[in-house]
Amino acid sequence: MALGEPEFDYIRSLVHERAAIVLEPGKSYLVESRLMPLARAEGLATVAELVARMRAQRAGRLHRLVVEAMTTNETSFFRDLRPFAALRDVVLPDLLARRAAERTLSLWCAAASSGQEPYSVAMLLREHFPQLEGWTVRLLASDISEEMVARAREGRYRQLEVNRGLPAALLVKYFEKAGVEWRLREDVRRMVEFFTVNLADAWPALPPMDAILVRNVLIYFDVETKRAILGRMRRLLRPDGYLFLGGAETTMNLDDAFERVVVSGTTCYRVAPA
C-alpha cells in the first residue's frame, strides 16, 4: 500500500531538515520500504502509524531512527565488495564441488531492495562460473516492498546508481543505455526470480538454500523477530550452506546454532556441526 501524501511530506521535510537529503515526489515507495521494518520493530502495522506516533511525540529517538533508516540504507552494486570476493573465491567454488553430482544451486538475497545485490550475484555467476551452464540455478531475491520489487524486476538504473560500485567493464557488458537510464540486459534480468515477502511474516514455499544473503535488514527488527528469522533461515539452509549478514550484524546471542567463519576477509555463518 502506497504511503499517503501528508505522511510522505512529513518524512520528506524531516529528512531534509536533519540530513539535507531531498526526496523527490514519487519516492513514497522508497520511504515505505525503508521505514516498514522500523514500523514493525515498533509494533506498528504501517508506516502511516509510525508517522502518527512521531507526530504525537517530541523529536527524539524515533525521529533519529527514521532519519538513519532513510539515509544509511543506500545501496550499491557489489556493496562492501568482500562478501562478493568470498562468494567468488571460496563459497561458490566450494558449493559447486559439493553439488557436482546433482547440479543444482539455490541462492536467496532476502533484502534485495532495488535489485543491485541479486544482480551483482547474477553478473558474478556469469563472469566467473561458466561451468554452471546446464545446472539448475535458482537465484531468488525478495524485498518487503512491492514497489521496490517491481522496480528491481525492471532492472533500470539511473546514472547515479550505476556509478555506485559497478565496475565499468560490467556496465558496458551487461547494461544497455536507455535514454538517461541504464537497463540490465534481459538475459541477466531473467536469472533472478523476485518476490515480495515480509521476513517477519509467513514465507512462501522456498527450496533448500545453499546460500542466503540477508544484509543490513535484521538491524531493524527486535530481538525476538531476529531470532525467529535466523531460526527459519537456518532450517532453510542446507547443512553445508552459508549465511551472509551485514557488517554490523551477527548471529551471536541470537542463534548459537550458527558458527562464525571468516572467508576472504569477510564474516559469514554456517550451521555448527551437532
Partner 1 sequence: MRALVIDDSQAIRILIANILKRIGFEVLEAANGREALERLAAASRMDVAFVDWNMPEMDGLAFVQAVRAEPRWAAVRLMMVTTETETAQVVRALAAGADEYLMKPFTKDALIEKLALLGIPARPDEPAA
Q: Report how far residue 182's alpha carbon sits from residue 31's, in angstroms, rounded to the nearest whole number.
A: 23
Cβ burial, residue 214 (10 Å; 0-12/13-18/19+): buried
Q: Which residues bind partner 1 (CB under 8 A)?
A: 74, 76, 78, 81, 159-160, 162-165, 167-169, 171-172, 175-177
CA 7 to chain centre: 25
- Please report where in the chains the cell 504501517 appears, as a residue: 46
Active site residue 88: no
Of 185, 187, 221, the C-alpha closest to 201 is 221
The one catalytic residue among 143, 151, 234, 270 = 143
Q: Rg of the Cα trace of the chain?
A: 19
Find out whether 139 and 125 touch, Cβ atoms under 8 Å.
Answer: yes
- Rounded to a whole number of angstroms, the distance between the first and last alpha carbons of the chain is 43
- Minimum distance of partner 1 from residue 158's CB (angstroms): 10
- Per the annotation, the verdict on 61 as an active-site residue is no
* DSSP class of 64: H
Q: Tell the smallest beta-carbon distance from residue 177 to partner 1 (Å).
A: 5
Distance CA 219, CA 214 (A): 11
d(CA 245, CA 185): 28
Judge contact between 115 and 192, C-beta under 8 A. Answer: yes
Beta-bridge partners for 136:
104
Show the cell assigned to 96: 559447486
Give residue 164's Cα distance to chain centre.
16
Report, as residue numbers or ranges, the catalytic residues: 34, 143
